[in-house]
Amino acid sequence: MQAISDERLIGSDHLLELSNVQKHFGPLHVLKDINLTVDRGEVVVVIGPSGSGKSTLCRAINRLEPIDSGTVKVDGEPLPAEGKALARLRSDVGMVFQSFNLFSHKTALENVTLGPVKVRGLRKAEADERARELLDRVGLAEKADAMPAQLSGGQQQRVAIARALAMEPKLLLFDEPTSALDPEMISEVLDVMVELAGSGMTMIVVSHEMGFARKAAHRVVFMDEGEIVETATPADFFDNPTSRRAKSFLSKILSH
Amino acid sequence: MDFVIEQRTVILEGFWMTVRLTVLSGVLSLLFGTVLAVMRVCPIPPLRWAGAFYVTVVRNTPLTLVFVFSTFGLPRLEIRFSFVTFAIIALTVYTSSFVCEVVRSGINSVAAGEIEAARAIGLPFGQTLGQVVLPQAFRAVIPPLTSVFIALTKNTSIAVAFSVAEATSILRRLQNQDASATFPLLLTTAAGYIVLTLFLSFSFSRLERRVAVAR
Ligand SMILES: Nc1ncnc2c1ncn2[C@@H]1O[C@H](COP(=O)(O)OP(=O)(O)OP(=O)(O)O)[C@@H](O)[C@H]1O
Ligand SMILES: [Mg+2]
């Protein structure tokens, strides 16, 4: 009895479950038998050398990239193949990109309201009001009517975060959200992400920002050559990495 | 020149027909050409092939032949319209293939990352297209579209050979009435086309400035 209820408890806590996920690009084996579970409210930082498959992992989670085999379950539901059902489920998984990818012909506010109005069917007035709250939350209340080209990189990325939040996602994916930013803008974006993590949002963050990982992450996942090599708490991972590959990777990024 | 002034209502009527042919086939070509462009980029291979086939065949056929197919071919299939309608069909079929390629180049100029972002917030294919891709694609292709529509304006003159009383056919008729007026008539007609196409260019460049996205 005890075992069953434990299992149920754990089962219901898993927001994301990847099992035996395989992905090839032609002959290149990019994701090698990935198994990963993320609990509700957990913040996981994914770290690893260039080309190790971190972006592909993120994109596989919301099926921007189809996988060869294995399953991706979000909140217990397996991701369907292409189609309306996929689009709906995908809207539960927010994504923030390295290059922001704001819709360049729409204002900051319209970027945030597009999804709620078109996908969730919210009334425009209601969507506007909520979008303004979100822009306020990321510190951009006064930029609602600005076009993306009129915003700095850091501001664009914060709008992109607001756009993702507007869908009220169950899970947020960040693929190197600060790598394209000038140093002085990195912290304004990380501050927003730390605040989000503190509010209980489930997040998977591909980032080499060690400060963020130590402050906000519950777990660090280290990937190399398409495999998850090591999983540990941030303190353990950065101070006492166990695998040889993680040690060598850390010595490289720390020597800069 | 007196003859030109004397016949001004007939000449104006001819140009009015030119304007009607241009506007109607222009609007229809824009719609149909956009549908073709969407077919050519959609994820369904048979639709892509159909779009590519259409463009390859029609774009490489002389407009006069398209007119012949429309005005003489369609009646054989028991399809009977007025000559004006046949002219509009021919012009639309032909111009759509050019609009398609222009719009497709506009679609390809939209940043792949934005399309991905649209999919990531859960927009299905149609809405990604309608909300993110096409609005940006059209903004990018207003100048080349202008050229396509200028060509269309002048292509309406092919209708002369198919019994439609547009500007060029009026020119021919009047010329036959008074051979000495040939030169003034030619100049007037040429000027008329220039006025029409300049107006078109002017409207489109105003439109371009109005919808330009700050970059
Ligand atoms: N669309 C694609 N077609 C072919 N190969 C691809 C494609 N996308 C990625 N790859 C390859 O798959 C591998 C993993 O790429 P991925 O972008 O996931 O790595 P990454 O860990 O995110 O790297 P980075 O830190 O540089 O962003 C790389 O070798 C890359 O070249
Ligand atoms: Mg990457």
Record: contact B117-A99, CB cut-off 8 A: no
| CB atoms closer than 10 angstroms to residue B183 | 11
Q: What is the CA radius of gyration of chain A?
A: 19
Which domain covers residue B156, as residue numbers? Answer: 2-214
Higher pLDDT, B169 or A229: A229
End-to-end CA distance of chain B: 51
Q: Could you tell me if A131 and A113 are in contact, meaning their C-beta atoms sit under 8 angstroms apart?
A: yes
Record: contact B132-A103, CB cut-off 8 A: yes
| Average pLDDT value for residue range A118-139 | 95
Domain boundaries, chain A: 14-102+166-253
| Average pLDDT value for residue range A105-115 | 96
Among the partner-chain residues A95, A97, A149, the one whose CB lies closest to the CB of B215 is A149
B120 touches chain A (CB under 8 A): yes
Q: What is the pLDDT confidence band of residue B149, given thresholds at 50, 70 and 90?
A: very high
Domain tally for chain B? Answer: 1
Give the predicted TM-score (pTM) of the model.
0.86
Q: What is the pLDDT confidence band of residue A2, given thresholds at 50, 70 and 90?
A: very low
A167 touches chain B (CB under 8 A): yes
Among the partner-chain residues B114, B116, B135, the one whose CB lies closest to the CB of A64 is B116
Q: Which residues, including other chains, have CB under 8 Å from residue B116's CB and lie 6 or more apart?
A: A64, A97, A101
Q: Could you tell me if A102 and B117 are in contact, meaning their C-beta atoms sit under 8 angstroms apart?
A: yes
CATH of domain A14-102+166-253: 3.40.50.300
Length of chain A: 256
Q: Which two tokens stand for residue A128?
A: 């506007």
Higher pLDDT, B177 or B27: B27
Ligand 1, pocket-test mutation among A32, A54, A209, most atoms within 8 A of CB = A54
Give Dmax (Cα) for chain A: 60
Residues from chain B that touch A134, judged by Cβ atoms under 8 A, are none
Record: contact A87-B123, CB cut-off 8 A: yes
Rounded to 10 deg, the angle between the A183-198 and A153-165 helix axes is 20
Closest residue, chain B, to A149 (C-alpha) = B215
Ligand 2 center to residue A53 CA distance, Å?
A: 7
Distance (Å, whole) CA B63 – CA B83: 16
Residues from chain B that touch A91, judged by Cβ atoms under 8 A, are 121-122
